[in-house]
């Protein structure tokens, strides 16, 4: 019975943590619930960086009633000062009887230290219930904090015969309006969107978050442009109020064009190589607190990401259309595998349908 109650209240804490998706980055998504004698005294989640953590919000709501209560937390409470005080100190001052923690925090500053401090204070601590749920919810944070790299997700819209455009480069629209709306929903969960310059030149997109669920959401736009071909009249340059624009370029790029883009408010980041090194781009983003990247194309960028094994996750929408043509670009090009056993394999796949499109979600 105790275990069932623990699961129930932890599920409630996770429902709160889900609300932080797309907003709390680069911090983890965390929810907390304070319970005594089956009465919920307080709940909360960490909304945004600099805002109070989930435990602090829940304990503030519970007030003095939190004495001898049980706290349910989706992630190990922090023990260090950041933009907010250590959560463990708040929990000790609340005189809790028991703390149920779903998973340890992989951050070396916190890992097992929060649990240890609670136990030293005589508080009963349980760890590990619904841990897999936390691993999925905080997959971005876990990679960012342990690998010092952003979590990379890509999306691709393809025809039934694997094409991403016609032989004349027409790609609007392969997927249905409902599928595109879903992809816009996914956009908002990320810190940054990434495209190659060919996508800008071909489609002239805004790359903003426009789904109604993400009102007020700003997102960083990352453009890979080795020769600085980004037009000064590109539509994206009119949307700086919706998020930063970072243009990664090579040492061969024109300084005059770089200055013109800088005057427009664009951040131009030259790399010390004739070609753009994707690993260096991702490392730079991580160092600047970009913990998740949504790669939206084009075909060359997707292929490079796959060949260099820099992608963590992908959404492929397959529409019931046959485009045909040897010259029509396919989703994954490059050198290709000689043998089937050498091909890239998606793991932990999930397949579902939107309108007439089939969506496959999977991990590498």
From 55, 76, 189, 296, active-site residue: 55
The two three-digit tokens of residue 132, written as one number: 């897999």
The two three-digit tokens of residue 185, written as one number: 């929903």
Please identify which residue in the block is written with the tokens 């490392």: 283
Neighbours of 25 (CB within 10 A): 24
Q: Residue 71 region, left (φ>0) first, then alpha (ψ -120 to 50), else beta?
A: beta
Q: Which of 222, 274, 229, 272 is closest to 248 using CA atoms?
A: 222
What dihedral do alpha carbons 221, 224, 227, 230 form, nearest 10°? -30
The two three-digit tokens of residue 213, written as one number: 């669920």
The whole-angstrom separation of Cα 57 and Cα 114 is 18
Q: Mark 298-321 as b/e (b = at least 16 C-beta within 10 Å).
A: bbbbbbbbbbeebbbbbbbbbbee
Query: Rounded to the nearest 5°, which phi and psi values hold at 184?
Result: -65, -35
Beta bridge partners of 330: 163
The whole-angstrom separation of Cα 292 and Cα 270 is 21
Residue 289 among the catalytic residues: no
Query: Rounded to the nearest 5°, which phi and psi values hold at 252?
Result: -85, -10
Q: Mark 275-291 as b/e (b = at least 16 C-beta within 10 Å).
A: ebbbeebbebbbebebb
CA 136 to chain centre: 11
Q: Going by C-beta distance under 8 Å and a sequence separation of 6 or more, which residues neighbour residue 184?
A: 209, 210, 211
The whole-angstrom separation of Cα 106 and Cα 276 is 31
Neighbours of 351 (CB within 10 A): 11
Name the residues annotated as catalytic.
Answer: 55
């Amino acid at each position: 019975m105790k275990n069932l109650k623990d699961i129930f209240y932890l599920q409630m804490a996770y429902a709160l943590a889900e609300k932080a998706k797309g907003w709390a980055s680069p911090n983890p998504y965390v929810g907390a619930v304070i319970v005594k004698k089956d009465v919920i005294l307080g709940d909360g989640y960490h909304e945004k960086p600099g805002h109070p953590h989930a435990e602090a919000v829940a304990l503030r709501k519970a007030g003095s009633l939190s004495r001898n209560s049980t706290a349910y937390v989706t992630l190990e409470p922090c023990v260090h000062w950041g933009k907010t005080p250590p959560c463990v100190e708040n929990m000790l001052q609340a005189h809790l009887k028991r703390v149920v923690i779903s998973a340890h925090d992989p951050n070396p500053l916190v890992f097992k230290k929060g649990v240890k401090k609670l136990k030293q204070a005589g508080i009963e601590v349980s760890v590990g219930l619904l841990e897999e749920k936390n691993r999925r919810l905080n997959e971005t944070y876990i990679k960012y904090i342990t690998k010092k790299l952003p979590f990379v997700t890509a999306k691709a819209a393809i025809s039934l015969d694997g094409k991403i455009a016609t032989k004349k480069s027409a790609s609007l629209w392969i997927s249905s309006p409902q599928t595109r709306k879903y992809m816009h929903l996914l956009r908002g969960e990320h810190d940054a969107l990434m495209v190659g310059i060919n996508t800008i030149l071909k489609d002239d997109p805004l790359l903003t978050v426009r789904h109604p669920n993400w009102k007020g959401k700003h997102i960083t736009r990352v453009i890979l442009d080795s020769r600085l071909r980004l037009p000064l009249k590109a539509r994206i340059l009119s949307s700086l109020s919706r998020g930063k624009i970072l243009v990664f370029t090579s040492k061969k790029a024109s300084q005059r064009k770089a200055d013109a883009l800088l005057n427009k408010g664009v951040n131009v980041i030259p790399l010390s190589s004739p070609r753009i090194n994707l690993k260096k781009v991702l490392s730079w983003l991580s160092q600047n607190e970009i913990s998740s990247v949504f790669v939206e194309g084009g075909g060359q960028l997707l292929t490079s990401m796959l060949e260099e094994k820099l992608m963590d996750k992908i959404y492929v929408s397959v529409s019931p259309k046959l485009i045909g043509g040897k010259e029509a670009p396919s989703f994954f090009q490059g050198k290709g595998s000689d043998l089937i056993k050498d091909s890239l394999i998606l793991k932990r796949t999930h397949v579902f349908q939107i309108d007439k499109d089939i969506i496959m979600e999977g991990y590498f």
